Amino acid sequence: MNLLLPLFAQDDGGGGAIVVLLSLFCMLIVPLAILGVVLAGMWKVFEKAGQPGWAAIVPIYNTYVLVVEIAKMDIMWFVLLLVPCVQYVAVFVIMIKVAKKYGQGDGFGIGMALLPFIFIPILGFGSARYNPSA
């Protein structure tokens, strides 16, 4: 019985609350902030192309608008995004095409495919202009 007394008499010092708050910050608030920046960037990308900004937040419709309306690609590319394994190649091709429509190079398009949370806000908030004939 005397061996358990030190375990119950310990003071945790209130450090648990700090750990919970830091965990909440890292696992909830930071990803939501990143999501907000990406959605705002995508909204601007859509508006620059003359599309409604709200289309950026509608899940499947936003992909359709990006592929068919903004990138001016055949609807088959949109369908290819539904095919497992093929979608990885299709994303790169589509993002490179979108980057070219905004006057960017192939490297920027690859960046959009690999790191969209960085490159889409750059495209949306940057000085790039949409050129439908590019």
Which two tokens mark 3?
Answer: 């061996």
pLDDT tens digits along 2-59? 666 565 556 666 677 788 888 888 888 889 999 999 999 999 999 999 999 999 999 9
Which residue's structure tokens are 């192309």?
49
Taking CA atoms, 58 is separated from 3, 42, 63, 66, in Å, by 60, 11, 9, 12
- pLDDT confidence band for 102 (50 / 70 / 90): very high
User: What is the C-alpha separation between 18 and 37, in angstroms, rounded?
Assistant: 27
Mean per-residue pLDDT, 87-116: 97
Q: pTM (2 decimals)?
A: 0.81
Q: Is residue 1's pLDDT more than 60?
A: no
Mean per-residue pLDDT, 60-66: 96
Q: Phi and psi of 74, rounded to 5°?
A: -65, 150
